[in-house]
C-alpha cells in the first residue's frame, strides 16, 4: 500500500464520519479492493498543482479541474484527448470513483474505441493551455459515471504526461488515421489532486 494512498485514506476518514476510536476497533474494515483502487504513480516534477471543483447547479458528472502554476515560468498543459480518461492517450486524466456507502469502485459508462484527437479540434492549438506563474486555468470535464441521487462518492484524480512520449513521431492519430506527435514544450510529470467527496445529482 503506497504512502500517498494512506494519506488519501486519512483525508477521507473525517468526511466519511469515521472517528479515530472506530478506526482502532476490529469492527470497521475497509475492503482490500477499495484500498488498492487508485493505482497512481508517485508525483514527479514540480510546477503544477491540481484541485477539483464542483459546478454550482450542474450535474455531478460535470466538474472543473483547476490547474495552478506554482513555478516562476509559464507552463503548458493539454486538454483531454479522446481516450485520456481511459489512459489510452496522454495526457492521462486518470479517474477513480468510489461509493462511500459500499466503499466499492463505481463501474464506468461504456464508450467507443478512442482515436486520440477529436474530429472537431485542431491539433495542437485547441488542446494547449498556457498558465502564467501563480495563475490558474480550469478544464471542464464530464465524468464517465452515472450518479445516484442522494448517494455520496469519493473522487480520485491524477494528471500524467509522459516525457518519453514526446520523442515519438507517431504518438497519436485523428479520426482519419493520420499520425501526429506531441508538442515539445509542454509540462511533463505526474500530479495528483486531493480526493473530493461528491454528492450524487443526475
Does residue 16 lie within any of the structural domains?
Answer: no
d(CA 165, CA 188): 10
Q: How many structural domains is the chain composed of?
A: 1
In this predicted model, which residue has the larger pLDDT, 35 or 45?
Answer: 45
In this predicted structure, what is the pLDDT of residue 36?
Answer: 44
56-85 pLDDT per residue, tens: 888 899 999 999 999 999 999 999 999 999
Q: CATH number, domain at 179? A: 2.60.40
Task: State the DSSP H helix or E strand holding residue 35, giving kind and residue range, or none if neither.
Answer: helix 32-36
Query: pLDDT, tens digit, for every residue of 122-166?
Result: 999 999 999 999 999 999 999 999 998 888 999 999 999 999 999
Q: Residues in the chain, how many?
A: 202
| 83 or 112, which is more confident | 83
In a domain, 105, yes or no: yes
pLDDT, residue 202, reads 61
Residue 26 is assigned to a structural domain of this protein? no
Residue 123, in any domain of the structure:
yes
**Does residue 117 sit within a domain?**
yes
Q: Answer yes or no: are the C-beta atoms of 75 and 48 closer than 8 Å.
A: yes
Residue-number span of the structural domain to which 67 is assigned? 45-199
Of 15-29, 41-55, 69-83, 180-194, minimum mean pLDDT range: 15-29
Contact 143, 94 (CB under 8 A): no
Residue at 30 is within a domain: no
Look at residue 8 and tell me whether its pLDDT is greater than 70.
no
| Nearest alpha carbon to residue 126 among 94, 164, 92, 82 | 82
User: Burial, 189: exposed, middle or buried (Cβ in 10 Å; 0-12, 13-18, 19+)?
Assistant: middle
Would 154 be classed as within a structural domain?
yes
> What is the distance between the terminal CA atoms of the chain, rounded to a whole angstrom?
33
pLDDT given at position 42: 82
Would you say residue 189 has pLDDT above 80? Answer: yes
Q: Is 141 a domain residue?
A: yes
Q: How far apart (Å, rounded) are the C-alpha atoms in residues 5 and 11?
A: 10
Residue written as grid cell 485547441: 126
Amino acid at each position: 500500500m503506497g504512502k500517498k494512498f494512506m494519506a488519501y485514506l486519512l483525508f477521507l476518514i473525517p468526511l466519511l464520519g469515521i472517528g479515530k476510536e472506530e478506526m482502532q476497533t476490529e469492527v470497521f474494515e475497509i475492503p482490500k479492493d477499495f484500498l488498492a483502487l487508485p493505482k497512481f504513480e508517485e508525483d514527479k516534477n514540480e510546477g503544477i498543482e491540481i484541485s477539483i471543483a464542483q459546478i454550482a447547479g450542474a450535474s455531478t458528472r460535470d466538474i472543473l479541474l483547476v490547474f495552478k502554476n506554482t513555478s516562476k515560468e509559464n507552463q503548458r498543459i493539454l486538454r483531454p484527448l479522446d481516450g485520456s480518461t481511459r489512459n489510452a492517450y496522454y495526457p492521462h486524466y486518470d479517474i477513480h470513483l468510489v461509493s462511500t456507502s459500499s466503499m466499492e469502485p463505481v463501474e464506468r459508462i461504456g464508450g467507443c474505441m478512442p482515436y486520440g484527437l477529436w474530429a472537431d479540434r485542431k491539433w495542437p492549438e485547441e488542446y494547449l493551455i498556457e498558465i502564467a506563474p501563480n495563475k490558474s486555468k480550469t478544464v471542464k470535464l464530464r465524468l464517465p459515471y452515472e450518479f445516484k441521487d442522494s448517494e455520496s462518492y469519493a473522487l480520485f484524480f491524477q494528471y500524467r504526461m509522459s516525457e518519453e512520449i514526446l520523442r515519438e513521431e507517431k504518438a497519436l492519430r485523428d479520426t482519419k488515421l493520420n499520425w501526429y506527435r506531441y508538442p515539445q514544450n509542454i509540462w511533463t510529470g505526474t500530479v495528483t489532486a486531493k480526493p473530493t467527496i461528491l454528492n450524487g445529482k443526475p
